[in-house]
Amino acid sequence: MSDPELSTLETMDEAAVEAALPTLTQAGLEVLLRRANREYWDNDAPTLSDPLYDRLVERLRKLDPDAAVLGEMGPTPSDGPKLDADEAIRLPPGERLGATVVHKRPMLSLGKCYNEADLLSWADKITGDFVVMPKMDGIACSLRYDEKGALVLAATRGSGTEGEDITVNVMGIADVPTTIKAEHAEGIEVEVRGELYMTLSHFELYKEEHSHPRNLTAGSVKQKDPSKSRAAHLSFFPYDVIGPDLPDERAKFELLKAVGFRVEGFEIAKKEELQATFERFVKDRPGLDYEIDGVVYRASLTSEHARLGETGHHPRYAIAYKFQGVVGHTELLDVLWSVSRNGTITPVAIVEPLELSGAMIGRASLHNVNRFLELGLTRGCKVEMSRRGGVIPQVESVAEEGPGAIPFEVPTACPACKGKVERRKKREGEFLWCADPKNCDQAGLKELEHFAKVIDIQGFGPKIVAQAVDAGLLSSPIDFYRLRQGDLAGLDRLGDKSAKRLIEQVDAHREVPLPTFLKSLGVEHLGRQNGTLLGASFGTLAAIRAATRDDLMAIKGIKDAIADAIVDGLKERAPLIDGLLEHITVIEGEAALPTDVPAADGALSGQSFLFTGALTTCTRNEAQAKVRALGAETPSGVSKTLSYLVVGGDELASGKKSSKIKKAEAQIAKGAPLKIISEADFNTLLAGVS
């Protein structure tokens, strides 16, 4: 056997390491493991997945169980001064952030297994039940509380014997109590160990610039500039408590709950139930709001901990049953370049949906320009997909070139505003940015909000649209029709039911009348009135797109400046129109023309109605049609001349006020004869005049 050159081992991607694994010597394995440790612990930017890292470890352990690198897991030891735990707490937290702290008791890593036979072989050595809990993919952390119950020290696991002081940042995490008081914990020093992590729903806010929640977690707790720290968005999963004399694991978790920690995800199981608990975690894993890479088992009786003891590397009374990497192959359909609100332009792979780890995957972030170029994606190629940590969709490599090997190119103009782009280097790699993000941001968001409002896709207000843009789900109106329920369910304050309703709204608007479609494009001077004129004059969208300036000016009411703006605007938006037509059917001819001119002598003549919120008894269009049939106007906004603001659903009862409600209240305060009524009151009013 022989290894590639050492310099090559330092730069090989995952696919190359995977291919070389069977022939690697001990020296080559050691180089790769030291590289992986450095990337994971020092740089917070691993390039080799956990399953591959574990295989490298197991192969080296078979060749040389005593290899020094097997005991080197953790960050590179600091060359600076070290503080022991008692020295550290004498300094104010703000002064010791980042200092190296020696743990009073080592924080050992866990032994690992990958199958039921090895799990049961380990369990055979233990008496009693077992505690079972998820193996969180985050940052191990020690919290030290003094005899009065005050949090005095928080430190990362680090090398196991020494970590990094992060007290001042951890104090800003809601899941970590700054003081504890409870039976069994008074008058003694208490150490709580657990995992700091970021939920996937919070990570959606930042994933344009970060490839993995763990990396962002590590950067957040070590950030010395409080204004840049994301620690407030972190969570803490406690898994052990040291100090109190407790009989078993159940008592530990009861104590943790009693002193103010959020305790969830653990259970007590018998030996014959262990494999079933693992399989249950595998099944439930896609629906969790955090990343896990395995399941942890620990002897429940603390007397067993004392009896079995520890090695220099791991406790004998606990083990991690790791998930194996799951991969699949599918066709790359397209690469979209998604513009976030801060101007970052992120490549996103759109693939033929495939199932991985129990979830359907249809898209995956390509993270940055470096990753995009490294992959060498070509049109129609076959790609290998995985779910990193069982959660994050990832394009691992190109498995088969596409026909003609036609490469995808890096954009030379911003996909949203068509302006200049810049390449900027950050620690995570090289990123593409819009050169004018402020204007691009406003234009992009307004375009999306305008489209949803005109088409009447309810539920996509500014907050939801902004979240979807930040998550890389929306960058063009076309993307509304590419959304899946699973894409939206991970957004902040959106669960499966809300996501399902939004998708139903999109699906309900795949047939659009021609004038409405024209207005939705956002072309200057092409509003509802001119859209109706064009629809009546030309009949079809194709005829309107083919019309010249002179053709438009032949229509009464359309002058030269308006004709120029419409012709130029439709040409500029040709890619948008073509893309929308792949998902939308435009209703043309007589059927598309509005019949909603207010009746001349209706019972509601002289009055006006504006609707806000989601109506439950009819659609907004139907409600508008009803009042127009009775002679009322339906303006697009709140004004002093508005007669009624109708609030849909239970929005009035909830106490939440939309911008329209606030504007209406302001007009009422100025003396406007405007009334804010519920949907029920509106239906009663209609029943009385119909």
Task: Determine how β-strand 421-426 pairs with β-strand 429-434.
Answer: antiparallel
Task: Name 406's Cβ contacts closer than 8 Å, sequence gap at least 6.
Answer: 378, 379
First CA to last CA distance, the chain: 89
Task: Name 87's Cβ contacts closer than 8 Å, sequence gap at least 6.
Answer: none
Q: Which is catalytic among the residues 62, 125, 135, 497?
A: 135
Concatenated DSSP letters of 266-283: -EEE-GGGHHHHHHHHHH
Tell which residue, 349, 561, 576, 399, has the closest CA to residue 481. 576
Listed in order, strand segments (DSSP E) in 340-461 are 344-356, 359-365, 382-388, 392-400, 421-426, 429-434
Q: How far apart are CA 686 and CA 532, in angstroms?
A: 28
Q: How many CB atoms lie within 10 A of CB 622?
A: 10
Concatenated DSSP letters of 366-398: --SHHHHHHHT-BTT-EEEEEEETTTEEEEEEE
Task: Determine how β-strand 139-145 pairs with β-strand 190-198.
Answer: antiparallel
Contacts by 487-491, CB closer than 8 A, 24 or more apart: 487/363, 490/200, 490/201, 490/204, 490/289, 491/201, 491/204, 491/464, 491/467
Collapse the DSSP code of 275 into the 3-class scheme (helix H, G, I; strand E, B; otherwise coil) and give the result: helix
Q: Which amino acid is at 157?
A: R
Supply 163's token pair: 């970590």
- Give yes or no for a contact between 643 and 607, defined as CB atoms under 8 angstroms apart: yes
| 446 among known catalytic residues | no
Tell which residue, 35, 39, 42, 76, has the closest CA to residue 56. 35
Active site residues: 135
